[in-house]
C-alpha cells in the first residue's frame, strides 16, 4: 500500500493544483478537487479492505522524527479506531465536493482550496499517532472552515457566526494545546525520561492521578465544544445557519467525529484513571446533550436546526457509549460515529433540495406535500430519516443498542433515562419527514423529482447506509481489537478498587 | 429442502415482492403490482406449508431448528446472528400470517382498484408481510426487535397511506411513536435478560434461564415486564392502545390485515415465545393477565358506544386481543394461539365486510348514517353475520371454541384467577351486544338512500369527497378511493377472499373441540415441552359449565341488541340518559387520550418550548455566547474587521498560550 501521507496530502495537492492551474476556466478547480476526492476515496477503500476483519494494532505506520528536541514525531498509522472514520471522511468529502460542483461559486479557486485543505487536515487528525501532530491537524482543520463560513456563508449573521465559532473553538484549541504539552512534559518528567509525544510511548508512561485529572478536563472541554455537547453548543445554531450546505455536509458529518475520536483514541488510553474518575460527570453531560438536543429538535421549525440539534443528541449518545468505559459501549460509539456522519450529510443535502422546492425556505412550515411529485426523493429521505431515528434494522440501531447496553451495565439509571432520547428521536425525525414530504401542499411549494446529478451525490452515501444495515459486523470486526485495547485501561481503572491505584501510582 | 430453507423462502418471497413492486413503480402496467403482491404472498404461504410438512417429518423433540445466514453484530460479548428459529410456534404463526395475507392481498386488488396509490399500496403491504414474518421467525432478540420495528414502520406507512390527509399523518406518527415506546421496552427487557444469560439467542437464553435465574428474581421480573411493555404497545393493550382506533385512518384492507389479524397479535406471540422466562417470573405473568383482562373489558364497553363502524371493530380487536394476552399470560398458550388464529379469520372478514359497506356509502363510516343494507348487499350481509356470530362466540362458529378454552384454563387455575374468569364472561356478553348492534344498525331497518340506490343497481358516490373528521376536501392526487369505491357484490376477488375467510371463521374451531380433537395442542406441544402449564385440562364440570354459559351469554347479548336497536328503537336514547355517567365514560373512551395528552404530550412539548425559546435564547446565546463575544470584541477591537485580522489574532493567541504554558511547566518541574 502507498504511504498514508499520500492519502492525507493528496486532497491538498489537488486543491493547490486547481487554485494555481485554473486562471481562465472557473470550473477546473472543482473538477480537480473532485479528482482528488475520488483518489482519496479510492485509497480509503483500499485501506478498509487491507485493514480487514479481525485486524489489530497499527498498520502502515509512517514514523519520522519531526522536532527531535521536543520528541515530536510525524507518525501516522492505521488502526481499527480510525480506518472506518477515514473511509467516512473520504466518502463525505467526495459527496460534498460533488454537490459543490453542481453550482458555481464566487472565487472557486479559494473555495475548493479551503475544502481540500479541510479534508487533508481531517484525515491527518484521524491518522496522527503523535499527540502534537494530532493537535496540529486539529487546529489546522478549523482554519479553512473559518474562511468558508466567513467568505461563502449565507445570511446576515455570518460574521457573528464566524466570530462565535472562532472564539469557541479557539478556547477549546488552546486548552487542548496546553493539555497536550503538559502530557508530553509531565509524562517525561514523572518517569525520568526524555520528552515524547508519540501516543504509543505515552501509553507506557502513565501520568499521576492528579495530573491526569486536570489534563482530562482540558481535553474534554476541547472535544465537547467540537462535537458540540450541551451546554457548549452555543456556536452551533448560528454556525449551521450561516454555512453553505455543501460545507455543512462535511462540517457536521466529519468534524464533530474528530472530537469523539479524540476521546476514544487519546483520552481513554492516556488518562484512564481520570476517565474512570470523571465517568459520571461525562455520562451526565452526554445525557443532558441527548435530552436537551432532542427537546429543542422537536420544537424547531428550521429544518437545518432540527438536524443540528438532533446531532447534539446523537453525539450525546456517542459520548455516552465512550464513557460506558466498556468494549460494548465503545464499539457502539465508534459504529455510531460512522452512522451519524452517513445520515447527517445526506440530510443537509436533502434539506437543500427541499428548500429548492418550497420557494427557497428551509422552514418546515413552508413545506409540505413534496412526496407526490418526487417519490424517489421521498424514499431517499425516508431511509435517511429512519436511520437517523435509529430504526432497528439500520446500523444506527446496532450502534445505539451497544451504547445503551454498555451504559446499562455501568449506570443503570442513566441508561434508562437516555431511552427518552430514543423515543424523542422518532418524534423529531418523523416530524421533519411528514411536515416536508406529506400533509397538504405548502403554498409556495413547486415539487419536482430530484435530478440524476442529485442522485449521484446521494446514492453512494445511501448505498453505504443500506450496506451497513445488512452487515454492521463488517465495521465491528475491524474495530474490535483496537477499541478493546483503547478502553481496557480505563475499564480496569473503573473496576479496580482505588486503594491499589493509590499505592501503584506513587513509585 | 431442509425445514429452515423453507423458513428462509417464506421471508424471501415477500421481500422480493416488495423490491419488484418498488423498483417498477412507474413501469408496472395496469393491476400487475397487485397480482405480483398477491402471488408472492401466496408463494410464501406454500413455503409455509412446506415448512409445516418438513417440520412434522422430524421427531417431536427435534422440532426446534435454527439457521443462520451470517453474523449480524457479534462483538464484545454480543452474539447477534442473522438467524431464524423454525419450530411449531413459528410455523403456526407463518401459516396464519401468510394465509390471511393472501386473502387480504386478493381483496385489495379489487378494493384499491381505482386508487392512484395502487402500486405503492402493494409495495407497502408486501413489506408489512415480510416484516411480520421476520418478527415471528427471528431466532434471537436483535432480529426480533428488527422485525418488531419493521412492522411498526409498515403500519405507519399504511396508516398514513393517504398522506395528504392531516388526520392520517397524525394517526401515523402517533402509532409510530407509541410503538417506539414498545420497542424501548423490548430493548430494555432484553438488556435485563442478557445481563445474566450473556446470549441473545432464543434457544440458548431459554436453556440458560433456569440456571441463571431463580424464580421471581428481580432482574428477570423487570425484564419480563419490560417485554410486556413491548407487547402492550404492539397489541394495543391499556394504556398503550390509543393508536389503534386512530389507525383506522388507513385503507380498510390495512385494518383487516395489520390492525386485526396479524400485527396486533405480535404481543401474544411474544409472550408465548418467551414462556420459559415468563414462567420464572410469576409477577410478570400476573401483570399480563390483569392488563389483558382490563383491556378486554374496557375496550368492550367502549365498543358498545362508538358510532364509527371501523372503530367499533377496532375496539373489538383490542378486546379480543385482551383475551389472548390474558390466556398466554396464565399459561393457556395453545388456547391463546388458537384464538389468535380464529380471530384472524373472523375479524379480517368483519373488516372486509365493513369495507364493502363503506364502499357503498362512498367513504362514510358512521353507523348513524347506515341502515338497511341487508337486501342491497346480501353477500356482505352474510359475511358480516358469519364473522359476527364467530366473534360473539355462538356455537359452532370458531370463536366459540377458542374463547371458551382460554377462560376454561383461567378458571382451572383457581384462586384470584376466578376474577379474570368472570371478567372474561362479562366481556363475552358485551361482545355479543356490540357486534349485533353493528349488524342491526347497518343491515336492518329502513334502507338509507345509498342502500336503495344500490338495490336499484346504482352505486352512490359524492361528487367531492371530504374528510369527515376535518371537513377538508380530500386531495385525490395521492390516491384516495375517489369516485369508484369497490363493493364485494361487484368484485370477484373480494368475494373469493371473503369466502375463504368465512370458511375459516365457520370451520376453524372444529380442529380443536374439547374432548374430541386436539390438533393445535398436539402440534404446538414441542415448543412448550418444558412448560409445566402445558397440560391437558381435566375438570369436565367446569368445561361443560363454561360452554353452556358462553352460549347463553352470547345469545342473550344478541337478544338485547335486537330489543334495543330493532324491536324498540326508542330505548337506546332512554338508556343513554339513564346511565349518563357510564355512557359519558365509554363514549369518551375512558379519557385515555386526554390522560396521555396531559401526562406526556403536553409536558414534553412544554419542555421543548422552554428549551428552545427560553433557555436556548436567554442562557446559551445570551449569557454564554454574548458574554464571551463582548469580552473578545473589546479586547480585539484593533485587530478585528478583516479576516486576516482574525487569523493573526488567532496565531498570536496560540503563540502566547504556548509560551505561557511552557513557562508554567518549566517553573513547575
pLDDT tens-digit series, residues B511-521: 877 777 778 88
In the three-class reduction of DSSP (H, G, I as helix; E, B as strand; rest coil), residue A488 is classed as: helix
Residue A234 to residue B188, Cβ atoms within 8 A: no
Residue A367 sits at φ, ψ, to 5 deg, of -100, -170
CB B329 within 8 A of CB B231: no
In Å, how far is B114's CA from the nearest CA of chain A?
Answer: 17
CB A309 within 8 A of CB A297: yes
Of the candidates A327, A371, A397, the beta carbon closest to that of B76 is on A327
Chain A hits for B146, CB-CB cut-off 8 Å, are 392-393, 397
H/E stretch holding A4: helix A4-21
Give the confidence band of A144 by pLDDT, cuts at 50, 70, 90: confident
Of the candidates B75, B173, B472, the beta carbon closest to that of A476 is on B75
The per-residue DSSP string of A266-305 comes to IIHHH-HHHHHHTHHHHHHHHHHHHHHHHHHHTT--BHHH
Residue B180 to residue A401, Cβ atoms within 8 A: no
What span, in angstroms and rounded, lies between the C-alpha atoms of A350 and A435? 14
Residue B65 sits at φ, ψ, to 5 deg, of -115, 135
What span, in angstroms and rounded, lies between the C-alpha atoms of B332 and B326? 8
- Lowest-pLDDT range, A20-34, A45-59, A389-403, B161-175? A20-34
3-state DSSP helix/strand/coil % of chain B, to nearest 5: 75, 5, 25
Determine the pLDDT at residue A140. Answer: 87
- Does pLDDT of A67 surpass 60? yes
Distance of CA B55 to the CA centre of its chain: 28
- The radius of gyration of chain B from alpha carbons, rounded to an integer in Å, stands at 28
Determine the pLDDT at residue B235. Answer: 92
Q: What average pLDDT score do residues B331-340 get?
A: 90
Residue A143 to residue B647, Cβ atoms within 8 A: yes
Residue B608 to residue A438, Cβ atoms within 8 A: no
In the three-class reduction of DSSP (H, G, I as helix; E, B as strand; rest coil), residue A130 is classed as: strand
- Does pLDDT of A187 surpass 70? yes
Determine the pLDDT at residue B478. Answer: 64
List beta partners, residue A65.
Answer: A73
What span, in angstroms and rounded, lies between the C-alpha atoms of B34 and B55? 31
User: Considering only alpha carbons, which residue of chain A is nearest residue B656?
Assistant: A174
In the three-class reduction of DSSP (H, G, I as helix; E, B as strand; rest coil), residue A73 is classed as: strand
Highest mean pLDDT among A31-35, A503-507, B450-454: A31-35
Give the confidence band of B642 by pLDDT, cuts at 50, 70, 90: very low
Number of helices (H), then strands (E), in chain B: 28, 2
Higher pLDDT, B26 or B464: B26
Determine the pLDDT at residue B14. Answer: 93
**B301, B307, B308, B311: CA torsion to nearest 10:** 0
Q: Is B560 on the interface with A (CB under 8 A)?
A: no
Determine the pLDDT at residue B640. Answer: 44
Q: Is B53 on the interface with A (CB under 8 A)?
A: no
All structural domains of chain B with their residue ranges: 3-587, 597-635, 641-669
- The radius of gyration of chain A from alpha carbons, rounded to an integer in Å, stands at 22
Q: What average pLDDT score do residues B132-142 get?
A: 93
Residue A167 to residue B611, Cβ atoms within 8 A: no
H/E stretch holding A500: helix A498-505
Residue B525 sits at φ, ψ, to 5 deg, of -50, -40
CB B274 within 8 A of CB B144: no
Give which of A69, A288, A299 to mutate to test B binding, by max B Cβ within 10 Å.
A299
What span, in angstroms and rounded, lies between the C-alpha atoms of A148 and B643? 11
Determine the pLDDT at residue B297. Answer: 92
What span, in angstroms and rounded, lies between the C-alpha atoms of B517 and B96? 20
CB A146 within 8 A of CB A166: yes
Highest mean pLDDT among A20-34, B336-350, B464-478, B504-518: B336-350
Give which of A54, A195, A434 to mutate to test B binding, by max B Cβ within 10 Å.
A434
- Does pLDDT of B172 surpass 50? yes
Chain A hits for B120, CB-CB cut-off 8 Å, are 375
Chain A hits for B176, CB-CB cut-off 8 Å, are 426, 430
Number of Cα atoms under 13 Å in the Cβ half of residue B602: 7
CB atoms within 10 A of CB B16: 16
Determine the pLDDT at residue B537. Answer: 61
CB A335 within 8 A of CB A399: yes
| Cα dihedral sign, B619-B620-B622-B625 | positive
Residue A170 to residue B650, Cβ atoms within 8 A: yes
Q: Is B579 on the interface with A (CB under 8 A)?
A: no
Give the pLDDT confidence of B72-93 residue by residue, as tens digits. 887 878 888 889 999 999 999 9
Give which of A147, A473, A480 to mutate to test B binding, by max B Cβ within 10 Å.
A473
Residue A434 to residue B172, Cβ atoms within 8 A: yes
Q: Is B637 on the interface with A (CB under 8 A)?
A: no
Phi-psi label, residue A325: left if phi above 0, alpha if psi -120 to 50, beta otherwise: left
Give the pLDDT confidence of B369-408 residue by residue, as tens digits. 888 888 888 899 999 999 999 999 888 888 888 888 888 8
Q: Is B150 on the interface with A (CB under 8 A)?
A: yes
* Residue that is written with C-alpha cell 389503534 in the block: B244
Of the candidates B80, B180, B611, the beta carbon closest to that of A292 is on B611
What span, in angstroms and rounded, lies between the C-alpha atoms of B175 and B153? 9
User: Considering only alpha carbons, which residue of chain B is nearest residue A306?
Assistant: B612
What span, in angstroms and rounded, lies between the C-alpha atoms of B243 and B177? 9
What span, in angstroms and rounded, lies between the C-alpha atoms of A13 and A140? 15
Cis peptide before A231 (omega within 30 of 0): yes
Q: Is B418 on the interface with A (CB under 8 A)?
A: no
H/E stretch holding A60: strand A59-67
What span, in angstroms and rounded, lies between the C-alpha atoms of A70 and A136? 14
Residue B561 sits at φ, ψ, to 5 deg, of -60, -40
Give the confidence band of A249 by pLDDT, cuts at 50, 70, 90: very high
- Does pLDDT of A386 surpass 70? yes
Give the confidence band of A104 by pLDDT, cuts at 50, 70, 90: confident
What span, in angstroms and rounded, lies between the C-alpha atoms of B293 and B282? 16
Give the pLDDT confidence of A191-225 residue by residue, as tens digits. 888 888 888 888 888 888 888 888 899 999 889 98
CB B649 within 8 A of CB B639: yes
H/E stretch holding A97: helix A83-100
In Å, how far is B229's CA from the nearest CA of chain A?
Answer: 14
Of the candidates B183, B604, B669, the beta carbon closest to that of A189 is on B669
In Å, how far is A475's CA from the nearest CA of chain B?
Answer: 9
User: Considering only alpha carbons, which residue of chain B is nearest residue A442?
Assistant: B164
CB B115 within 8 A of CB B108: no
- Residue A430 buriedness (CB in 10 A; 0-12 / 13-18 / 19+): buried
The per-residue DSSP string of A412-462 comes to HHHHHHHHHHHHHHHHHHHHHHHHHHSSSPPTT----PPPHHHHHHHHHHH
Q: How far apart, in Å, are the Cα atoms of B215 and each of B272, B274, B282?
A: 18, 15, 8
User: Considering only alpha carbons, which residue of chain B is nearest residue A288?
Assistant: B611
Q: What average pLDDT score do residues B487-505 get?
A: 86
| Grid cell at residue A172 | 477549546
CB B377 within 8 A of CB B444: no
In Å, how far is A25's CA from the nearest CA of chain B?
Answer: 26
Q: What is the DSSP letter of B589?
A: G
How many beta-carbon pairs under 8 angstroms link A with B? 197
What span, in angstroms and rounded, lies between the C-alpha atoms of A403 and A253? 19
pTM: 0.90
**Which residues are CB-neighbours of B70 under 8 A, at least 6 positions away?**
A471, A473, B81, B82
* Residue that is written with C-alpha cell 380464529 in the block: B342
CB B654 within 8 A of CB A177: yes
* Residue that is written with C-alpha cell 431442509 in the block: B2
- Residue B510 buriedness (CB in 10 A; 0-12 / 13-18 / 19+): middle
State the average pLDDT for chain A. Answer: 87
CB B372 within 8 A of CB B455: no
Nearest Cα neighbor of B38 from B112, B92, B90, B91 is B112
Distance of CA B632 to the CA centre of its chain: 58
Residues 173-212 of B with CB under 8 A from A: 173, 176-177, 180-181, 183-184, 187-188, 191, 194-195
Give the pLDDT confidence of B297-321 residue by residue, as tens digits. 999 999 988 888 989 999 999 999 9
Q: What average pLDDT score do residues B348-362 get?
A: 88
* Residue that is written with C-alpha cell 455566547 in the block: B625
Determine the pLDDT at residue A501. Answer: 46
- Does pLDDT of A506 surpass 60? no
Amino acid at each position: 500500500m502507498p504511504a498514508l501521507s499520500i492519502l492525507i496530502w493528496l486532497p491538498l495537492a489537488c486543491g493547490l493544483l486547481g487554485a494555481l492551474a485554473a486562471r481562465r476556466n472557473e470550473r477546473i478547480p472543482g473538477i480537480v478537487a473532485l479528482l482528488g476526492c475520488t483518489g482519496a476515496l479510492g485509497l480509503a477503500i483500499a485501506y478498509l479492505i487491507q485493514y480487514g476483519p479481525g485486524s489489530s494494532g497499527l498498520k502502515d505506520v509512517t514514523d519520522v522524527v519531526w522536532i527531535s528536541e521536543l520528541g515530536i514525531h510525524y507518525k501516522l498509522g492505521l488502526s481499527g479506531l480510525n480506518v472506518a472514520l477515514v473511509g467516512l471522511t473520504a466518502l463525505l468529502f467526495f459527496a460534498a465536493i460533488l454537490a459543490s460542483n453542481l453550482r458555481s461559486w464566487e472565487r472557486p479557486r479559494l473555495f475548493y482550496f479551503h475544502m481540500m485543505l479541510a479534508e487533508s487536515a481531517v484525515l491527518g487528525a484521524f491518522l496522527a499517532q503523535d499527540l502534537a501532530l494530532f493537535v496540529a491537524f486539529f487546529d489546522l482543520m478549523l482554519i479553512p472552515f473559518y474562511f468558508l463560513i466567513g467568505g461563502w456563508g449565507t445570511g446576515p449573521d455570518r460574521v457573528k457566526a464566524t466570530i462565535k465559532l472562532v472564539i469557541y473553538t479557539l478556547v477549546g484549541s488552546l486548552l487542548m494545546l496546553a493539555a497536550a504539552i503538559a502530557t508530553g512534559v509531565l509524562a517525561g518528567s514523572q518517569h525520568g525520561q526524555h520528552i515524547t509525544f508519540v501516543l504509543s510511548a505515552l501509553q507506557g508512561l502513565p501520568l499521576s492521578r492528579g495530573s491526569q485529572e486536570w489534563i482530562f478536563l482540558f481535553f474534554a472541554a476541547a472535544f465537547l465544544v467540537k462535537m458540540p455537547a450541551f451546554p457548549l453548543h452555543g456556536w452551533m445554531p448560528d454556525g449551521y445557519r450561516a454555512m453553505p450546505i455543501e460545507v455543512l455536509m462535511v462540517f457536521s458529518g466529519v468534524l464533530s467525529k474528530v472530537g469523539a475520536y479524540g476521546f476514544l483514541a487519546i483520552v481513554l488510553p492516556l488518562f484512564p484513571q481520570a476517565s474512570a474518575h470523571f465517568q459520571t460527570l461525562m455520562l451526565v453531560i452526554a445525557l443532558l446533550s441527548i435530552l436537551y438536543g432532542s427537546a429543542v429538535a422537536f420544537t424547531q421549525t428550521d429544518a437545518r436546526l432540527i438536524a443540528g440539534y438532533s446531532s447534539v443528541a446523537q453525539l450525546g449518545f456517542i459520548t455516552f457509549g465512550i464513557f460506558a468505559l466498556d468494549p460494548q459501549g465503545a464499539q457502539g460509539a465508534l459504529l455510531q460515529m460512522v452512522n451519524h456522519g452517513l445520515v447527517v450529510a445526506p440530510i443537509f443535502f436533502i434539506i437543500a433540495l427541499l428548500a429548492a422546492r418550497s420557494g427557497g425556505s428551509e422552514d418546515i412550515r413552508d413545506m409540505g406535500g413534496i412526496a407526490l411529485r418526487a417519490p424517489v426523493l421521498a424514499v431517499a429521505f425516508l431511509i435517511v430519516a429512519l436511520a437517523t431515528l435509529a430504526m432497528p434494522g439500520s446500523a444506527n440501531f446496532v450502534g445505539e443498542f451497544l451504547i445503551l447496553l454498555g451504559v446499562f451495565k455501568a449506570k443503570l439509571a442513566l441508561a434508562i433515562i437516555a431511552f427518552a432520547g430514543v423515543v424523542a428521536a422518532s418524534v423529531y425525525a418523523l416530524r421533519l419527514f411528514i411536515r416536508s414530504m406529506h400533509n397538504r401542499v405548502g403554498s409556495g411549494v413547486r415539487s419536482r423529482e430530484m435530478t440524476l446529478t442529485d442522485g449521484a451525490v446521494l446514492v453512494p452515501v445511501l448505498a453505504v447506509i443500506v450496506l451497513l444495515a445488512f452487515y454492521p459486523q463488517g465495521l465491528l470486526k475491524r474495530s474490535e481489537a483496537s477499541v478493546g485495547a483503547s478502553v481496557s485501561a480505563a475499564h480496569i481503572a473503573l473496576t479496580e478498587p482505588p486503594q491499589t491505584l493509590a499505592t501503584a501510582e506513587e513509585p | 429442502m431442509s425445514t429452515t430453507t423453507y423458513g428462509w423462502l417464506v421471508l424471501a418471497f415477500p421481500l422480493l415482492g416488495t423490491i419488484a413492486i418498488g423498483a417498477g413503480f412507474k413501469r408496472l402496467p395496469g393491476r400487475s403490482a397487485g397480482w405480483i403482491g398477491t402471488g408472492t404472498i401466496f408463494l410464501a404461504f406454500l413455503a409455509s406449508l412446506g415448512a409445516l410438512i418438513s417440520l412434522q417429518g422430524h421427531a417431536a423433540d427435534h422440532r426446534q431448528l435454527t439457521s443462520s445466514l451470517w453474523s449480524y453484530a457479534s462483538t464484545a460479548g454480543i452474539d447477534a446472528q442473522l438467524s431464524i428459529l423454525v419450530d411449531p410456534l413459528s410455523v403456526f404463526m407463518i401459516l396464519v400470517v401468510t394465509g390471511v395475507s393472501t386473502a387480504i392481498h386478493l381483496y385489495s386488488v379489487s378494493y384499491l382498484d381505482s386508487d392512484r396509490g395502487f402500486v405503492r399500496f402493494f409495495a407497502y403491504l408486501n413489506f408489512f408481510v415480510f416484516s411480520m414474518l421476520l418478527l415471528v421467525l427471528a431466532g434471537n432478540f436483535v432480529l426480533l426487535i428488527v422485525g418488531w420495528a419493521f412492522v411498526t414502520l409498515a403500519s405507519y406507512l399504511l396508516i398514513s397511506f393517504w398522506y395528504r390527509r392531516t388526520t392520517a399523518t397524525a394517526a401515523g406518527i402517533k402509532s409510530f411513536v407509541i410503538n417506539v415506546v414498545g420497542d424501548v421496552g423490548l430493548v430494555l427487557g432484553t438488556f435485563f435478560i442478557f445481563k445474566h444469560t450473556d446470549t441473545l439467542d432464543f434457544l440458548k437464553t431459554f436453556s440458560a434461564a433456569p440456571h441463571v435465574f431463580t424464580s421471581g428474581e428481580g432482574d428477570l421480573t423487570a425484564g419480563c415486564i419490560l417485554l410486556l411493555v413491548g407487547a402492550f404497545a404492539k397489541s394495543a393493550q391499556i394504556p398503550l392502545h390509543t393508536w389503534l382506533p386512530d389507525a383506522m385512518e388507513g385503507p380498510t384492507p390495512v385494518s383487516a390485515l395489520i390492525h386485526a389479524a396479524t400485527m396486533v397479535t405480535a404481543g401474544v406471540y411474544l409472550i408465548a415465545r418467551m414462556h420459559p422466562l415468563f414462567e420464572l417470573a410469576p409477577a410478570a405473568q400476573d401483570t399480563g393477565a390483569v392488563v389483558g383482562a382490563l383491556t378486554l373489558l374496557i375496550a368492550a364497553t367502549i365498543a358498545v358506544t362508538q358510532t364509527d363502524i371501523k372503530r367499533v371493530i377496532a375496539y373489538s380487536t383490542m378486546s379480543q386481543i385482551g383475551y389472548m394476552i390474558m390466556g398466554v399470560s396464565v399459561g393457556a398458550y395453545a388456547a391463546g394461539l388458537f384464538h389468535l388464529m380464529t380471530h384472524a379469520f373472523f375479524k379480517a372478514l368483519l373488516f372486509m365486510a365493513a369495507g364493502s359497506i363503506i364502499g357503498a356509502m362512498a367513504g362514510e363510516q358512521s353507523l348513524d348514517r347506515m341502515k338497511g343494507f341487508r337486501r342491497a348487499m346480501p353477500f356482505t350481509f352474510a359475511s358480516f353475520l358469519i364473522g359476527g356470530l364467530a366473534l360473539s362466540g355462538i356455537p359452532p362458529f370458531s370463536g366459540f371454541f377458542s374463547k371458551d378454552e382460554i377462560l376454561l384454563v383461567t378458571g382451572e387455575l383457581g384462586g384470584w384467577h376466578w376474577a379474570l374468569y368472570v371478567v372474561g364472561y362479562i366481556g363475552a356478553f358485551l361482545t355479543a351486544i356490540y357486534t349485533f348492534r353493528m349488524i342491526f344498525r347497518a343491515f336492518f331497518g329502513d334502507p338509507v338512500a345509498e342502500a336503495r340506490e344500490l338495490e336499484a343497481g346504482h352505486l352512490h358516490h359524492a361528487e367531492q369527497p371530504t374528510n369527515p373528521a376535518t371537513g377538508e376536501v380530500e386531495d385525490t392526487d395521492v390516491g384516495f378511493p375517489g369516485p369508484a369505491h369497490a363493493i364485494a357484490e361487484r368484485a370477484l376477488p373480494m368475494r373469493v377472499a371473503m369466502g375463504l375467510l368465512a370458511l375459516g371463521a365457520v370451520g376453524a374451531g372444529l380442529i380443536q373441540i374439547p374432548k374430541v380433537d386436539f390438533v393445535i395442542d398436539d402440534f404446538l406441544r414441542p415448543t412448550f415441552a418444558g412448560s409445566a402449564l402445558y397440560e391437558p385440562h381435566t375438570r369436565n364440570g367446569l368445561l361443560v359449565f363454561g360452554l353452556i354459559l358462553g352460549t347463553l351469554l352470547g345469545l342473550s347479548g344478541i337478544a338485547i341488541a335486537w330489543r334495543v336497536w330493532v324491536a324498540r328503537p326508542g330505548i337506546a336514547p332512554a338508556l343513554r340518559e339513564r346511565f349518563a355517567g357510564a355512557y359519558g365514560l365509554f363514549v369518551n373512551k375512558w379519557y385515555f387520550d386526554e390522560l396521555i395528552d396531559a401526562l406526556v404530550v403536553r409536558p414534553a412539548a412544554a419542555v421543548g418550548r422552554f428549551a428552545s425559546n427560553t433557555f436556548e435564547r436567554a442562557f446559551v446565546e445570551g449569557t454564554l455566547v454574548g458574554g464571551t463575544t463582548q469580552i473578545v470584541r473589546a479586547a480585539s477591537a484593533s485587530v478585528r474587521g478583516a479576516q486576516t485580522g482574525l487569523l493573526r489574532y488567532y496565531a498570536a493567541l496560540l503563540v502566547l498560550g504556548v509560551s505561557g504554558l511552557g513557562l508554567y511547566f518549566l517553573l513547575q518541574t
